[in-house]
Amino acid sequence: MDKKTTIPFKIKIQNEDFDVSEETKILRENLTGAIVNFVGVVRGFDERNNSLIDSMTLEHYPGMTELEIEKIVKQSCERWNITGVTVIHRVGKLLPSDQIVFVGVSAKHRQNAFDSCNFIMDWLKTKAPFWKVEENNNQKKWVDYNLSDDEATKKWVV
Amino acid sequence: MVIKYFSWIKEHIGKSEELIELPDNVKNVSELINYLNNLNDDYKKVFVKKDLIKIAVNRTYCSVETKISNNDEIAFFPPVTGG
């Protein structure tokens, strides 16, 4: 199958949790032989500041967030033979071990699904306008961006 | 023009959004920042950290040289931290 940008994709920004098995079931309908799912989870520990967190709140730029994710998904479709993509990102207040983000990619063969999922996550982390604030003991701290996230995108530059 | 602020920038400026009438001599983002800096010190304290500020015009990333007009939506925000 040729690479194309007309594959089914779903992008959702929501407060509610998501069900990975339900999302996987939807991706299985895309004439697929392989599905790769990534789930990002709230860490209860801030490694850079060596401190615990009570909760985390995510805000985003409605309208631009969806556009940026769509651009990334379309680039991924042009680059790999994939049959479907789902990106769900939660916003609002989340607790340690809560799910934050889901990226699921279906393809006929696994390597395309692995690479595409990895590509989408790397670019989402550096381009999609979300910001995290960590809360601990009634104090809040905006999370600093991570230079290693920028570094991670370099492997995709051809 | 609508200006939107996010994350710590929103907190420093004290609002998430504002509507301004663009003066005739403000033609690009850089000139808009100069204009805002002259309004009060809250803007100055934010825009002094210009290396840490991303800009979007009409929901697309752009630079300080990007031309703007009164119908545009412009946003200032820190590097993103989602995922």
Higher pLDDT, B80 or A145: B80
In a domain, A126, yes or no: yes
**Total structural domains in chain A?**
1
Strand order of the β-sheet with A55-60 is A92-94, A55-60, A130-136, A139-142
In a domain, A68, yes or no: yes
Give the pLDDT mean for A121-140.
Answer: 96
In a domain, A146, yes or no: yes
Type of residue at B33: I
Smallest CA-to-CA distance from B76 within B64, B65, B67, A148 is with: B64
Inter-chain touch B81–A126, beta carbons under 8 Å? no
| Position A5 pLDDT exceeds 80 | no
In a domain, A1, yes or no: no
Non-local (6+) Cβ contacts of A3 within 8 A are A77, A78, A79, A80, A81, A82
Give me the domain span that covers residue A105: 9-153
CATH number, domain containing residue A140: 3.90.1170.40
Q: Note whether A131 contacts B: Cβ–Cβ < 8 A.
A: yes
Q: How far is A140 from chain B (nearest CA, A)?
A: 11
Question: Residue B69 and residue B29: Cα distance in Å, rounded?
Answer: 10
Instruction: Enter the pTM of the model.
Output: 0.94
- Residues of chain A in contact with residue B75, where contact means CB-CB under 8 angstroms, are 61, 64, 129
In a domain, A86, yes or no: yes
Structural domains in chain B, CATH included, are 2-77 (3.10.20.30)
Q: Using one digit for the tens of pLDDT, what is the confidence trace for B14-37?
A: 999 999 999 999 999 999 999 999
Inter-chain touch A143–B81, beta carbons under 8 Å? yes
Task: Work out the pLDDT band at A9, boundaries 50, 70, 90.
Answer: very high
Q: Using one digit for the tens of pLDDT, what is the confidence trace for B69-78?
A: 999 999 999 9
Q: Environment class of residue A5 by beta-carbon count within 10 Å: exposed (0-12), middle (13-18) or buried (19+)?
A: exposed
Inter-chain touch A131–B81, beta carbons under 8 Å? yes
Q: How far is B77 from chain A (nearest CA, A)?
A: 8
CB-defined contacts A:B, below 8 A:
70
pLDDT of A1 reads 44
Give the pLDDT mean for A2-21.
Answer: 87
Inter-chain touch B83–A40, beta carbons under 8 Å? yes
| Position A2 pLDDT exceeds 80 | no
Question: Residue A18 and residue A16: Cα distance in Å, rounded?
Answer: 7
